[in-house]
C-alpha cells in the first residue's frame, strides 16, 4: 500500500486529476487510508503556497475547476466541446446563455454519477474502478486536445 499511496501522492502533486481515482480507493480499508494520506500530502504541500500567493490560487482554480470561456475551437475534441458546438449551432439558449454553469454542472454530474457507480459496484477491482474514474474525468473535462 505504501508504494501505491506514494505514487498517488506524487501523481496528484504533478497534476490534480489523479485524485479522481479516490472513489475506487475507498472500497478497501488500506486503500481508503492511502487516499487520505495522498490528499493530506497534497494539502500540506500546496496550501501554504496558495495562502502565500492568492493570485496563484485563483489561476490554479480557474485552470482546473472552472469551465473555459475560451478554447472552444478546432482541436478541442472532447465531449464538452461537441456539446458546445451543437448547442451553438442549434441555438440552444439554456445551454449557451450560461455556458460556465452548464459545463461545470455537466462535469460534476458525470464525475458524481460515476463515483457513485464505482463505490456501489460489486467489483472491488482497483484497476477497473480507477480506470472508470479516469475515463469519466477525460470524458467530462473541458479541454481535450488532439495533441
Tens digit of pLDDT at every position of the chain (147 positions):
568 888 888 888 888 889 999 999 988 777 888 888 889 988 999 999 999 999 999 998 887 777 766 667 777 888 888 999 899 999 999 988 888 889 989 999 999 999 999 999 998 898 999 999 999 999 998 887 765
Q: Which of 49, 48, 40 is nearest to 6 (CA)?
A: 40
Distance CA 143, CA 71 (A): 7
Distance CA 34, CA 9 (A): 9
Using CA atoms of 13, 58, 40, 103 in order, give the dihedral in degrees to the nearest 10.
Answer: -80
In this prediction, residue 73 carries a pLDDT of: 74
Q: Any bridge partners for residue 145, and if so which? A: 76
Using CA atoms of 126, 11, 36, 103 in order, give the dihedral in degrees to the nearest 10.
Answer: -80
Q: Which of 29, 33, 120, 64 is nearest to 9 (CA)?
A: 33
Distance CA 21, CA 126 (A): 9
Q: Model's pTM, two decimal places?
A: 0.84
Question: Three-state SS for 76?
Answer: strand
Amino acid at each position: 500500500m505504501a508504494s501505491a499511496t506514494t505514487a498517488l501522492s506524487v501523481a496528484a502533486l504533478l497534476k490534480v486529476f489523479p485524485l479522481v481515482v479516490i472513489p475506487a480507493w475507498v472500497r478497501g480499508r488500506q486503500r481508503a487510508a492511502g487516499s487520505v494520506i495522498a490528499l493530506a500530502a497534497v494539502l500540506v504541500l500546496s496550501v501554504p503556497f496558495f495562502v502565500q500567493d492568492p493570485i496563484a490560487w485563483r489561476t490554479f482554480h480557474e485552470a482546473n475547476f472552472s469551465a473555459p470561456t475560451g478554447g472552444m475551437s478546432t482541436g478541442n475534441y472532447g465531449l464538452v466541446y461537441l456539446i458546445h458546438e451543437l448547442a451553438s449551432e442549434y441555438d440552444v439558449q439554456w445551454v449557451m446563455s450560461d455556458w460556465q454553469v452548464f459545463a461545470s454542472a455537466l462535469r460534476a454530474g458525470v464525475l458524481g454519477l460515476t463515483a457513485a457507480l464505482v463505490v456501489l459496484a460489486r467489483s472491488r477491482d482497483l484497476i477497473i474502478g480507477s480506470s472508470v474514474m479516469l475515463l469519466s474525468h477525460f470524458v467530462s473535462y473541458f479541454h481535450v486536445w488532439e495533441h
